[in-house]
Chain A
Amino acid sequence: MATIEAAGLAIEFPLYHHNARSLKQRILASSGLRLKQDADNRVVVAALRDLSFSIGKGERVALVGPNGAGKTTLLRTIAGVYEPVAGMLRVEGEIGSLIDPAAGMDSLLTGRENVVLRALFRGMTEAEGRALADEVAGFAGLGDFLDVPTRGYSAGMNVRLAFAMATAMSPNILLMDEWFLAGDADFMKRAEERLAQLVTGADILMIATHDMTVVRKWCTRAIRLEGGRIVADGPVEDVIEADRA
Chain B
Amino acid sequence: MLNTARPTHGFDAANPRRRERALEDLAGGLARWRLAWALARSDITHRYRGSILGPMWLTLSTAVMLGALGFLYAKLFRIDMTDYLPWLTVSLIVWNVLNQVVSDASGSLTGAEGVIRQMPLPYSVHAMRVVMRNALIAAHNLPLIAVVFMIFGVAPSWYALLAIPGFLLMAVAGFAAALFLGMACARFRDIPPIIGSVMQVAFFVSAVIWKPEMVGHWQPYLPINPVFALMEAVRAPLMGSPGGITVWLAAIFWTGVMVVIAWAFFVRFRGRIAFWV
Stretch in B8-16, B67-75, B142-150, B172-180 touching the partner? B8-16
B211 CB contacts on chain A under 8 angstroms:
none
- Bound-state CA distance A93–B42 (Å) is 31
Interface-central residue, B10, B118, B274, B276, by most chain A CB under 10 Å: B118
Question: Contacts A94-B5, A108-B49 known; A17 to B189 CB distance under 8 Å?
Answer: yes
A124 with B3: CB separation less than 8 A: yes
A104 CB contacts on chain B under 8 angstroms:
115, 118-119
Stretch in A63-71, A75-83, A233-241 touching the partner? A75-83
Task: Report the tally of A-B residue pairs with Cβ distances under 8 A.
Answer: 104
A126 CB contacts on chain B under 8 angstroms:
34
CB nearest to B8 among chain A residues: A92
B113 to chain A, nearest CB (A): 11
Contact with A along B6-39 (1 / 0, CB 8 A): 1111111110100000000000100110110010
Q: Which of B7, B34, B116, B271 contacts A94 (CB 8 A)?
A: B7
A94 with B121: CB separation less than 8 A: no
B40 to chain A, nearest CB (A): 12
A56 within 8 A of B: no
Stretch in A21-29, A95-103, A136-144, A198-206 touching the partner? A95-103
B5 with A89: CB separation less than 8 A: no
- Bound-state CA distance A115–B77 (Å) is 56
B170 to chain A, nearest CB (A): 26
- Bound-state CA distance A117–B37 (Å) is 11
B2 within 8 A of A: yes
Q: Which of B38, B272, B276 contacts A117 (CB 8 A)?
A: B38
B13 CB contacts on chain A under 8 angstroms:
10, 84-88
A220 to chain B, nearest CB (A): 23
Question: Contacts A94-B5, A124-B3 known; A88 to B10 CB distance under 8 Å?
Answer: yes
B268 within 8 A of A: no
B153 within 8 A of A: no
CB nearest to A86 among chain B residues: B13
A166 to chain B, nearest CB (A): 11
A169 CB contacts on chain B under 8 angstroms:
2
A72 to chain B, nearest CB (A): 10
- Bound-state CA distance A116–B16 (Å) is 34
B120 within 8 A of A: yes
A106 CB contacts on chain B under 8 angstroms:
42, 46
Interface band, chain B: 35 or more
B114 within 8 A of A: yes
B117 with A76: CB separation less than 8 A: yes
A81 with B32: CB separation less than 8 A: no
Residues of A127-185 contacting chain B, CB below 8 A = 128, 132, 169-170, 172
A102 to chain B, nearest CB (A): 8
A122 within 8 A of B: yes
A91 with B8: CB separation less than 8 A: yes
Residues of B208-264 contacting chain A, CB below 8 A = none
CB nearest to B21 among chain A residues: A83
A120 with B34: CB separation less than 8 A: yes
A121 with B275: CB separation less than 8 A: no
B14 with A88: CB separation less than 8 A: yes
B189 CB contacts on chain A under 8 angstroms:
17
A123 within 8 A of B: yes
- Bound-state CA distance A100–B118 (Å) is 7
B140 within 8 A of A: no
- Bound-state CA distance A125–B34 (Å) is 7
B120 CB contacts on chain A under 8 angstroms:
79-81
A90 within 8 A of B: yes
Question: Contacts A16-B276, A83-B274, A117-B38 known; A124 to B7 CB distance under 8 Å?
Answer: no
A105 to chain B, nearest CB (A): 9
B197 within 8 A of A: no
CB nearest to A119 among chain B residues: B2
A93 CB contacts on chain B under 8 angstroms:
7-8
A16 CB contacts on chain B under 8 angstroms:
187, 275-276
B1 within 8 A of A: yes
- Bound-state CA distance A103–B6 (Å) is 18
A89 with B11: CB separation less than 8 A: yes
- Bound-state CA distance A121–B114 (Å) is 14
B114 CB contacts on chain A under 8 angstroms:
102-103
Q: Would you mind naming 6 contact pairs between A and B with Cβ atoms under 8 Å apart?
A: A81-B118, A94-B5, A103-B115, A117-B35, A121-B121, A170-B1
Given contacts A16-B275, A79-B120, A106-B46, 9 further A-B contacts (CB under 8 A): A14-B275, A80-B6, A94-B5, A104-B119, A123-B31, A124-B2, A128-B2, A169-B2, A170-B2
Closest 8 CB pairs of A and B: A103-B118, A80-B120, A83-B271, A90-B10, A120-B35, A88-B12, A122-B5, A94-B4
